[in-house]
């Protein structure tokens, strides 16, 4: 498959998306273009491990992601983690995708904050056997210089996106993206306070948020 970004590689963007916002979308868009990806697949977590339960149920978070990406060629939504029972481990998702797409380069997209937590992920050492890892720097989060992740970065870091197309998995690439310091945590607080999320989320997402009022009640989630 080729198109929108003209390569065959696929970006896999997992997250809780509680709710999805322009920080996620702009990052995905710049990855699509800069890495020449055929597609960025958004994979909302059904039951995200290593964090408090999401404020809003998986079906609604999925609806919001679908609304967010509907008008962007190359953006798709994969609901397998919502359909699958049990914790939404990325290693299981990537394993399934690898079986479905044996030769396609897969690029797991993570923010630097998420990358720094990688060694806590379930069976994390298998991730690079299944996919490349592409990291978006975020303000306040510094790439590891030492320790297990620093060593991994030194051994696996690719100098250019070309490496992501030459092999189906195994490289780490850091792709600078426009820094939009929007977070779902801040958005939830804003919505619970009855404020308007305009310019933080696409209008299609804002419409669902307003219609359903799904974040209008503040609950202590983390
Ligand atoms: P929360 O505030 O609830 O932790 P979040 O805004 O960080 O949520 P997640 O759904 O947890 O959103 O993030 C999914 C992925 O998107 C992670 O890899 C995270 O690093 C990345 N990400 C989140 N916000 C941004 C942003 N503003 N810019 C770039 N990447 C982001």
Q: Which of 31, 30, 26, 24 is nearest to 45 (CA)?
A: 24
State if residue 175 touches ligand 1 by the CB under 6 angstroms criterion: no
- pLDDT tens per residue, range 112-168: 999 999 999 999 999 999 999 999 999 899 999 999 999 999 999 999 999 999 999
Task: Report the C-alpha gap between 80 and 19 in whole angstroms.
Answer: 18
State if residue 184 touches ligand 1 by the CB under 6 angstroms criterion: yes
pLDDT on residue 4? 61
pLDDT on residue 1? 47
Look up the pTM and report it: 0.94
Question: Under a CB-based contact definition with an 8 Å cutoff, are residues 69 and 77 in contact?
Answer: yes
Ligand 1 centre to CA of 46 (Å) is 16
Whole-Å CA distances, 72 to 25, 94, 181, 203: 10, 23, 22, 13
Query: How many Cβ atoms sit within 10 Å of the Cβ of residue 64?
Result: 27
Residue 221 reports pLDDT greater than 50? no
Best of 22, 24, 31, 81 to mutate for ligand 1, by most ligand atoms within 8 A of CB? 24
- pLDDT tens per residue, range 193-211: 999 999 999 999 999 999 9
Question: Under a CB-based contact definition with an 8 Å cutoff, are residues 10 and 101 in contact?
Answer: yes
Residue 219 reports pLDDT greater than 80? no
pLDDT on residue 51? 84
Q: Which residue has the higher pLDDT, 51 or 134?
A: 134
* Nearest-CA residue for atom 18 of ligand 1: 110
């Amino acid at each position: 498959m080729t198109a929108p970004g003209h390569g065959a590689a696929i970006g896999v963007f997992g997250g809780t998306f509680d709710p999805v916002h322009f920080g996620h979308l702009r990052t995905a868009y710049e990855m699509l273009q800069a890495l020449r990806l055929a597609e960025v697949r958004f994979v909302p977590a059904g039951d995200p491990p290593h964090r408090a339960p999401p404020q809003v149920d998986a079906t609604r978070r999925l609806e919001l992601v679908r609304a967010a990406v509907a008008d962007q060629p190359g953006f798709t939504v994969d609901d397998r983690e919502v359909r699958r029972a049990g914790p939404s481990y990325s290693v299981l998702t990537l394993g399934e995708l690898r079986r479905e797409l044996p030769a396609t380069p897969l690029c797991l997209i993570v923010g630097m904050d998420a990358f720094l937590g990688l060694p806590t992920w379930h069976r994390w050492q298998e991730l690079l056997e299944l996919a490349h890892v592409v990291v978006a720097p975020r303000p306040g989060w510094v790439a590891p210089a030492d320790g297990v992740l620093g060593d991994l970065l030194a051994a696996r870091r690719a100098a250019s996106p070309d490496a992501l197309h030459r092999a189906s998995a195994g490289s780490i690439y850091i792709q600078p993206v426009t820094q939009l310091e929007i977070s779902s945590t801040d958005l939830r607080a804003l919505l619970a306070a009855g404020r308007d999320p305009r310019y933080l989320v696409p209008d299609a997402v804002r419409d669902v948020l307003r219609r359903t009022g799904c974040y209008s009640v503040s609950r202590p989630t983390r």
